[in-house]
């Protein structure tokens, strides 16, 4: 990857970046077969800093990600995530017409530990569309633009919860619908998962000041908004 990672915010303690699709945050045993540079390595090359991830996004998810410049800052920020003090908004394109609003409270299983934990997600449908493109078993296809507001931060929470309400995220090959994923690739050449971390609010370390962050959408998203004539969330 040659383009620089977009830096959304920086101070003495943290850097916030707009993570592209298809980049690991950091190397791990579970992703040992992926040989591309991870985000920590790319940011080290770009900024010169040894950075420490405060939270994580899936490899195929884009959007806001926070890194600490020193290990001493990690705990304060991570505690805010663990105590559900961080406000997050994600955007996703899902299969079908999703209901206007709802809450999903299905526990999720951690793939690393095998343990189930309580998980809560609020959602709101922002846009819908019906396309004259057949996808098995129907002669047309329907999609929704959904805003997800997770109240907990479990592994793959939004992907699991979207699938739980029968509206899996387009481009998700683990929990999604392969027929719709392939249609997006074949008809539109959109190959990424449509899940984007668009907004985040967190308290700065050792202060009461609130930091509000917003990230721009990747290119596939911009093309989708134009093609579907959907209003881009602000």
Active site amino acids: 58
SS3 letters across 64-131: EEEEECCHHHHHHHHHHHHCCCCEEEEEEEEECCCCCEEEECCCEECCCCCCEECCCEEEEEEEEEEE
E strand spans, the chain: 6-10, 14-19, 52-53, 62-68, 87-95, 101-104, 108-109, 116-117, 121-131, 141-150, 195-203, 210-214
CA distance 123 to 98: 9
Query: Residue 93, Cβ neighbours under 10 Å: how many?
Result: 26
Strands 14-19 vs 108-109: parallel, antiparallel or unpaired: unpaired
Tokens for 100, please give them: 């206007």
Q: Which of 97, 95, 98, 96 is nearest to 181 (CA)?
A: 95
């Amino acid at each position: 990857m040659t383009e620089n990672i977009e830096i959304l915010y920086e101070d003495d303690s943290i850097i916030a970046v707009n993570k592209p699709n298809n980049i690991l945050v950091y190397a791990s045993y579970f992703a040992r077969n992926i040989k591309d540079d991870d985000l920590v390595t790319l940011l080290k090359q770009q900024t010169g800093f040894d950075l420490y991830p405060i939270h994580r996004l899936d490899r195929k998810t884009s959007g806001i990600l926070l890194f600490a410049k020193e290990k001493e800052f990690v705990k304060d920020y991570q505690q805010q995530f663990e105590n559900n003090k961080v406000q997050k908004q994600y955007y996703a394109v899902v299969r079908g017409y999703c209901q206007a609003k709802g809450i999903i409270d299905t526990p999720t299983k951690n793939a690393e530990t095998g343990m189930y934990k309580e998980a809560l997600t609020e959602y709101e449908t922002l846009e819908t569309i019906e396309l004259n493109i057949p996808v098995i078993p129907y002669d047309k296809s329907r999609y929704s633009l959904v805003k997800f507001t997770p109240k907990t931060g479990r592994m793959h929470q939004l992907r699991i919860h979207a699938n739980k309400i029968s509206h899996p995220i387009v481009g998700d090959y683990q929990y999604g619908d392969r027929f719709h994923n392939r249609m997006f690739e074949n008809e539109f050449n959109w190959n990424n998962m449509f899940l984007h971390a668009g907004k985040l609010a967190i308290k700065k370390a050792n202060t009461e000041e609130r930091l509000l962050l917003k990230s721009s959408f990747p290119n596939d998203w911009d093309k989708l908004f134009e093609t579907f004539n959907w209003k881009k969330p602000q």
